[in-house]
Amino acid sequence: MTPLRVGLLFGGRSGEHEVSIASAKAIAAAFCADENAQKYELRPVYARKDGVWHDGEIAAGVLASGTPLGDDGGTTADRWQFPPSVAEIDVWFPIVHGPNGEDGTLQGLLQMVGVPFVGTGVLGSAVGMDKLMMKTAFASIGLPQVEYIAVRRDEIWSNPCVFPKLCDRIESELGYPCFVKPANLGSSVGIAKARSRGELEAALDSAASYDRRIIVEKGAKVRELECAILGNDNPQASVVGEITYDSEFYDYETKYTDGKANLLIPAPISDVVAKRIQELAIAGFLCLDCAGLARMDFFYLEETDEILINEVNTLPGFTALSMYPQLWAATGVSFPQLVDRLVQLALERS
């Protein structure tokens, strides 16, 4: 049997570049394990922060060292000159998190090339990345969510008369605390919890520096539960996991500093809550036309027993310690089986 050439595409132009390298390293190891070693030939392809792609020894070197390559002065034209070996790839496994990787842009490129790829296509990736569009889509099928207000950058920056009215409206409709978020980032970048008018004004100003589209949400006292989805038209849900931490919320530092957050798998919740989360997770996955994989994140308000869908991650963190593969391991799918299944789902969909 000729092994299938898998293009493991990692790195990318977002702030989650380093996380992507760590995810790719774990995925590469899984392609070399068990039966995968005979079935697949791994071809790492590294997208530098400036968008230039490398294959072969350079890409393998970044994977092995875990260290990103600096910009060597590549031009826009270099970004359109992909290494010739990419033409030999049979199936792509993109594991590039955040903007320009998880938001449909990369998926559009792979779609145009006409080679099967792991994960969600252009539509679901783009809608899933934009918190405002995602919430609109989830609302259209009646999924429960926190109350929120959509804000445009120009309401914050351009007219000094509009801004106080906007803050008044947020105070009266949502109150404090509230969460202010750029619509299109991830990893909690640019997100702030506001407890007063002063903090709200600063948070809006800061979020506007990241994005033209901003979302303000009612802040709730929440437990954070996550469910992993695997499949295409008939997706399966994993056991539910929980994230706990001591910080104010699950911010960037808590996410990426060792020991600041704990993963509880399975989450200590009732079977009824777990089942409901699995159902909502599958409904959200199908609603956005997701494919292959996604991690669906929820807020559980224990006092009122409410379950609210928070967000979808169409290319979730995929290191050996990440929630997505750990949820599947606890559900009976090992890391090597998981990557094998994802490639098969990519081929099935194409």
Ligand X SMILES: Nc1ncnc2c1ncn2[C@@H]1O[C@H](COP(=O)(O)OP(=O)(O)O)[C@@H](O)[C@H]1O
Chain contacts with ligand X (rule: CB under 6 A): 146, 179, 181, 186-188, 191, 217-220, 222, 224, 249-250, 297, 310-311
Least distance in angstroms from the C-beta of 188 to ligand X: 4
Shortest gap between Cβ of 77 and ligand X (angstroms)? 33
For 85, which DSSP code? G
For residues 188 and 232, which CB has a smaller minimum distance to ligand X in the complex? 188
Give the pair of three-digit tokens for residue 216: 């303000």
Residues 162 and 124: their CA atoms lie apart, in Å, by 34
Q: At closest approach, how far in Å is the CB of 247 from ligand X?
A: 9
Q: Which CB, 221 or 275, lies closer to ligand X? A: 221
Secondary structure (DSSP) of 142-208: T-----EEEEEHHHHHT-TTHHHHHHHHHHHHT-SSEEEEETT--TTTT-EEE-SHHHHHHHHHHHH
Torsion of CA 247, 249, 305, 173, to 10 degrees: 140
Tokens 């989450």 identify what position? 267
Among 133, 135, 132, residue whose Cα is nearest residue 151: 132
Residue nearest to ligand X (CB): 250
Of the two residues 104 and 219, which places its CB atom closer to ligand X in the complex? 219
**Minimum distance from CB of 110 to ligand X (Å)?**
23
Residues 6+ apart with CB under 8 A from 187: 15, 16, 19, 97, 98, 252, 255, 256
Residue closer to ligand X, measured from CB, 28 or 323: 323
Least distance in angstroms from the C-beta of 177 to ligand X: 8
Q: Which is nearer to ligand X, 29 or 222 (CB)?
A: 222
Cβ-based nearer residue to ligand X, 146 or 194: 146
Q: Which is nearer to ligand X, 28 or 192 (CB)?
A: 192
Residue 167 corresponds to which amino acid? C
Min dist CB 91 to ligand X, Å, is 28
Sequence-ordered list of residues with C-beta below 8 angstroms from that of 63, at least 6 positions apart, any chain: 10, 21, 24, 25, 28, 44, 46
Closest to ligand X by CB, 163 or 252: 252
One DSSP character per residue, 255-312 reads HHSTTSEEEESS-S--HHHHHHHHHHHHHHHHHTT--EEEEEEEEEETTTTEEEEEEE
